[in-house]
Amino acid sequence: MRRQLVVWGTATLPKKNVLTDASAGPRIAVLIYAGGLFHTMGRPILYEVVDKPATSCLIVLCTAVWLYIQKHGIGYSDVGISYEAVVESGQYWRVVTAAFSHISFIHLMFNMSALWSLGIIENPVHAQLGWRQYLKYTVLLVFLSGALVLGMYHVLSHRFRMERYKRVTAVGYSCVVFGLMTILSCLQPSSNLNLLGLLNLPISFAPFESLIFTSIIVPQASFVGHLAGIIVGYLIGWGLFQGISDFWALTGTIWLGIAFVASLKRSSPFQLDWIQVETVTENASPVRLIGGVLQRPPAGNANAAVARAEDIV
């Protein structure tokens, strides 16, 4: 059984720039070659899907997001992560949308191909993780790498006066891909990584080898984003978050999801009429459990209504 891995860089562009598929003309040969890289010799694809359920669902999710983006003509500046948009404008939802969004089909294809190859991590036989641990690490990679990218942008733009990093906009799943590759290098340091069928390298050095290799062949790739994924991947691989139980991981994910939806509703340009976020003011009446039902008494009669209720808890 032979597996090969290709890593495609997260696309980063100055705000309002557009990258079209036509600009990727010189890389068409790489695209054609990549089509034959990811398969398991002599094994039906359905078996692979069963072995990688979480990976398969994430690939479907990213592909569905790409289709939505193409249908509605959404660009980098609409969903990408940038210091200017997230930190200065408070559009925190971009940390999530940037990770799962791809504008170019080539970008999507390479990231999903790499993710499919790295899906071996969720197989408990090969990497001792399982799909629950895999999803837990994926959530950590999405949010922590996004936060680290913003922190690096802050240092570069304020400390080193590199103002362009306030406007650099990045999209793509590459932060997570590089993080998973790093975790795999910690779990299986004796394995090898095949780069484009040209180099066979020890996976213990694969994260930094791929970082340099990707930066050379894809100049517009996000060096900062990939490096952030590698750093978070090492923190996970070294066991820093090993003590997080499934319960707390699920609870944290739910709260992060609520925060994401609230931020998306309040500061995104998208029409989300089906989401209602109620603003609580100081004069708002308290919610009480009356007769087994949560009720908010009228503002002027809150105390009277509460006093008349016989079964207030």
- Where in the chain are the domains? 11-267, 278-313
Q: Max Cα separation, the chain?
A: 79
Q: What pTM was estimated for this model as a whole?
A: 0.75
Q: Residue 278: its pLDDT value, please? A: 56
- The burial class, CB within 10 Å (0-12 / 13-18 / 19+), for 203 is buried
The Cα–Cα gap between 218 and 10 comes to 9
The Cα–Cα gap between 260 and 264 comes to 6
Under a CB-based contact definition with an 8 Å cutoff, are residues 207 and 182 in contact?
yes
Catalytic residues: 174, 226
Among the listed residues 307, 265, 302, 268, the one whose alpha carbon sits nearest the alpha carbon of residue 283: 302
Reported as a pLDDT band with limits 50, 70 and 90, residue 232 is: very high
What are 302's two structure tokens?
A: 């809150």
Facing residues of 200 across strands?
Answer: 194
In one-letter notation, the amino acid at residue 227 is L
Among the listed residues 64, 144, 146, 143, the one whose alpha carbon sits nearest the alpha carbon of residue 101: 64
What are 125's two structure tokens?
A: 């036989």
Under a CB-based contact definition with an 8 Å cutoff, are residues 186 and 148 in contact?
no
Q: Residue 47: its pLDDT value, please? A: 80
Q: Residue 175: its pLDDT value, please? A: 95
The Cα–Cα gap between 256 and 140 comes to 11
The Cα–Cα gap between 92 and 200 comes to 40
Quick one: fold of 11-267?
A: Rhomboid-like fold (1.20.1540)
Work out the mean pLDDT of the chain and round it to a whole number. Answer: 78
Among the listed residues 74, 209, 79, the one whose alpha carbon sits nearest the alpha carbon of residue 146: 79
225 against 120, higher pLDDT: 225
Q: Residue 21: its pLDDT value, please? A: 37
Which range is least confidently modeled, 59-73, 98-112, 294-308?
A: 294-308
Reported as a pLDDT band with limits 50, 70 and 90, residue 253 is: very high
| Residue 92 pLDDT greater than 50, yes or no | yes
Q: What is the pLDDT of residues 179-212, one digit of tens each?
A: 999 998 998 888 776 655 566 767 888 888 888 8
